[in-house]
Amino acid sequence: MSGISRIFVVGAGTMGHGIAEVAALRGFSVTLYDIKQEFLDGALSRIRWSLERLAEKGTIGSPDEVMSRISTTLDLESGASGADFVIEAAPERMEVKRDIFSRLDRSARPGAVLATNTSSLPITEISESVSEGRRGSVVGMHFFNPPVIMQLVEVVRGSHTSDAAVGAAYDLARALGKQPVIVSRDVPGFIVNRIMARFLNAACSLVERGIYGMEQVDAAARHSLGMPMGAFELSDYIGMDVLDDIIRAMVARGFRMRPCGLFGEARAAGRLGVKSGRGFYEHPGAKFRKPELDPSLAGAVDPVLLIAPAVNEAAYLLREGVASRDDIDKAVRLGLNYPRGIFEYADQYGPGAIASALRRLEGLLGSDEYEPDPLILEIAGRGGRFYPRGPG
Active centre residues (catalytic): 119, 142, 154, 193
Backbone angles phi, psi at 331, to 5 degrees: -65, -45
DSSP structure class, residue 220: I
Cis peptide before 259 (omega within 30 of 0): no
DSSP structure class, residue 222: I
Residue 214: closest CA among 230, 238, 225: 230
Residue 178: closest CA among 268, 241, 115: 115
Instruction: Give the C-alpha distances (Å, rounded to integers) separating 103 from 75, 82, 100, 109, 239.
Output: 11, 14, 5, 12, 31
Q: In terms of DSSP H, where are the helices of the chain?
A: 14-25, 37-56, 63-67, 76-81, 94-107, 123-127, 163-175, 192-208, 214-219, 231-238, 240-252, 261-268, 303-319, 325-335, 342-349, 351-365, 374-381
Q: How far apart are CA 171 and CA 174, in angstroms?
A: 5
Angle separating helix axes 240-252 and 261-268, nearest 10 degrees: 130
Q: How far apart are CA 144 and CA 99, in angstroms?
A: 23
Q: How far apart are CA 191 and CA 47, in angstroms?
A: 29
Query: Is there a contact between 35 and 24 (Cβ–Cβ < 8 Å)?
Result: no
3-class secondary structure, 316: helix
SS3 readout for 228-252: CCCHHHHHHHHCHHHHHHHHHHHHH
Q: How far apart are CA 306 and CA 4, in angstroms?
A: 44
